Amino acid sequence: MTETAYQKCINPDCGAQFDCGQSLFKCPECGELLDILYNWDKIEIQDKMSEFGRRWAGRDNRLDLSGVWRFRELLSFCEDWHKVSIGEGQTILQQNDAVARYVDMEAGRLHLQYEGLNPSGSFKDNGMTAAFSHAKMVGATASACASTGNTSASMALYAHSCGVKCTVFIGSGRIAFGKLSQAMDYGAQTIQILGDFDDCMKQVQDVCTQRGLYLLNSLNPFRLEGQKTIMYRIIEGLNWEVPDWIVVPGGNLGNSSAFGKAFFELKELGLIERIPRMAIINATGADTLTDLVNNKNLAWNNGKVDQAIIDDYYADLTARNFSPHTCASAIEISRPVNLKKCLRTIDICDGIVRAVTDEEIVDAKAIIGRHGLGCEPASAATIAGLKHLRQEGIIGGDERVACVLTGHLLKDPDKTVNYHKDNQGQFSNPPVEAPNDLDEILKLIK
Ligand SMILES: [Zn+2]
């Protein structure tokens, strides 16, 4: 047990507390989400954020090398010897004036946070380093998850790096083979169940219970602690200044949940003076959050969220046999696990929610690819959403904005190839066929 941190149910009518040495992932008393909370008076914390930046000089220390554990006092739930790291979080905040022009922003005001530069190619590594540290702390020797995406890739990489066995459950429906290829290559046992993703989720939970496996699902609150550091690094990239806006894709809502918590804690600790606003961007084919917040007026309400609104909404989805559909597979989710924590972020950050079409996403993705480091479709929802918010006049052209690009371009190569080869959008850049003839080829060179 550590004295610095504990788990607490987010339901104010329950508020049950648990030791961090337990693997619970939801409140055993009421079933709500759990938070990791800190006894800040028992942690020696830097006086200002810039002191974390000094650790760049000590990169022979494995924890200082990590872009997550460099900020370890702000996620102090385990001892240093439990901390698992493979050098995650070496990511770049890039000022990008060309993409700024696309969304009608002034030069110098738009920044792209490239989380695709993590070891497994997505932001998930920020969370996995924290969750596997917790797994080591509780003595886990085997882990499992149900995912066909970035989670399974990241989990498999961290599992083998710290000697924990790893099983990935996949369904027989749509499978993101680009991402699954990583899980197989990293040595995860992959079990394909004759069923859909929901069937996998149920089976994996039962298997974990019976075999005592550590479950790396989206409910794991320790993952969100690691994801807080993405915000610390954005502030670091802005010379420790807070931007006006953070723009993030909305899928299972773990990132937005973690980001709001990060800013709330930094303000509470006096390490920042103000909290930025946040824009969370859904795809129109998976826009539960947008619908609930903008049309049904669902709100955090000091933790007393109107559960009936959510229940009615999900019952309607079931009655309609609705299944979400978007090219941005990483955010193709209609029942987001971290919904209530995200509502809290919207409250903390004066947040807003928008949905963008697949067409807008793939065009924005092509613009990012042409002028930046490239990203997977879900990441590009941020730029498509920002373009909307500029047109609406909600975000000013002179405001400072940081968009979180969550996954690497090569995570989903099929979408990219099809967009360009089949001329699917206004920025398609297809290959040109040429005869095997020098003069003809020379005529084609631009
Ligand atoms: Zn509870």
Query: What is the full DSSP assignment across 149-189?
Result: SHHHHHHHHHHHHTT-EEEEEE-SS---HHHHHHHHHTT-E
Ligand 1 centroid, distance to 220 Cα (angstroms):
15
Ligand 1 centroid, distance to 382 Cα (angstroms):
33
Nearest to 411 by CA among 343, 340, 327: 327
pLDDT above 50 for 116: yes
Ligand 1 centroid, distance to 29 Cα (angstroms):
5
> How many residues are listed for the chain in this entry?
446
How far, CA to CA in Å, does 239 sit from each of 52, 67, 321, 369? 12, 16, 49, 26
Ligand 1 centroid, distance to 149 Cα (angstroms):
30
Could you tell me where the DSSP H helices lie in 392-433? 413-421
* Three-state SS at 247: strand
Rounded Cα distance, 242 and 235, in Å: 6
What's the mean pLDDT in 171-184? 79
What's the mean pLDDT in 87-106? 97
Ligand 1 centroid, distance to 37 Cα (angstroms):
14
Ligand 1 centroid, distance to 376 Cα (angstroms):
36
Ligand 1 centroid, distance to 36 Cα (angstroms):
13
What's the mean pLDDT in 167-171? 89
Ligand 1 centroid, distance to 340 Cα (angstroms):
13
Rounded Cα distance, 168 and 155, in Å: 9
Longest dimension (CA), the chain: 77
Rounded Cα distance, 233 and 294, in Å: 30
Question: Cβ distance 415 to 377 under 8 Å?
Answer: yes
Can you spell out the DSSP letters for 314-348? HHHHHHTT-----S-GGG--SS-TTHHHHHHHHHH
Strand partners, 279: 247, 352
Q: In what order do the strands lie in the sheet with 165-170?
A: 189-192, 165-170, 142-146, 214-215
Strand duo 5-9 + 189-192: pairing: unpaired
Nearest to 100 by CA among 376, 355, 387: 387
Ligand 1 centroid, distance to 8 Cα (angstroms):
8
Ligand 1 centroid, distance to 347 Cα (angstroms):
21
Question: Cβ distance 30 to 101 under 8 Å?
Answer: no
Rounded Cα distance, 345 and 165, in Å: 34
Nearest to 310 by CA among 3, 175, 2, 301: 301
Ligand 1 centroid, distance to 33 Cα (angstroms):
8
Nearest to 208 by CA among 166, 180, 177: 166
What's the mean pLDDT in 10-31? 95
DSSP 213: P
What's the mean pLDDT in 100-112? 98
Ligand 1 centroid, distance to 259 Cα (angstroms):
22
Average pLDDT, the chain: 95
pLDDT digits (tens, 9 = 90+) for 225-267: 999 999 999 999 999 999 999 999 999 999 999 999 999 999 9
Rounded Cα distance, 334 and 313, in Å: 10
Question: Cβ distance 151 to 179 under 8 Å?
Answer: no
Ligand 1 centroid, distance to 11 Cα (angstroms):
6
Which residue type, as a one-letter code, is found at position 113?
Q
pLDDT digits (tens, 9 = 90+) for 23-81: 988 999 999 999 999 999 999 999 999 999 999 888 899 999 999 999 999 999 999 99
Strand partners, 248: 280
Can you spell out the DSSP letters for 187-209? T-EEEE-SS-HHHHHHHHHHHHH
Rounded Cα distance, 144 and 165, in Å: 8
pLDDT above 90 for 197: no
Task: Tell me the backbone φ, ψ of residue 203, rounded to 5 degrees.
Answer: -60, -40
Ligand 1 centroid, distance to 218 Cα (angstroms):
17
Structure tokens at 399: 């405001």
Which helix (H) or strand (E) covers residue 3, if one does? none
The neighbour count for residue 237, using CB atoms within 10 Å, is 18
Rounded Cα distance, 252 and 330, in Å: 9
pLDDT above 60 for 1: no
Ligand 1 centroid, distance to 15 Cα (angstroms):
6
pTM for the model stands at: 0.97
Ligand 1 centroid, distance to 34 Cα (angstroms):
8
Question: Cβ distance 340 to 10 under 8 Å?
Answer: yes
pLDDT category, 174, cuts 50, 70, 90? low
- For residue 103, what are the contacts with CB-CB under 8 A and spacing of at least 6? 110, 383, 386, 387, 390
Ligand 1 centroid, distance to 13 Cα (angstroms):
8
Residue list, CB under 5 A from ion ligand 1: 9, 11, 14, 16, 27, 29-30, 32
Rounded Cα distance, 230 and 258, in Å: 9
* Three-state SS at 115: helix
Which helix (H) or strand (E) covers residue 228, if one does? none
Structure tokens at 298: 């669902």
pLDDT category, 2, cuts 50, 70, 90? low
Ligand 1 centroid, distance to 26 Cα (angstroms):
8
CA pseudo-torsion sign 171, 174, 177, 178: negative
pLDDT above 90 for 419: yes
Rounded Cα distance, 226 and 39, in Å: 18
Ligand 1 centroid, distance to 129 Cα (angstroms):
26
Query: What pLDDT does residue 173 have?
Result: 66
Ligand 1 centroid, distance to 73 Cα (angstroms):
27
Ligand 1 centroid, distance to 92 Cα (angstroms):
38
Query: What pLDDT does residue 217 have?
Result: 85
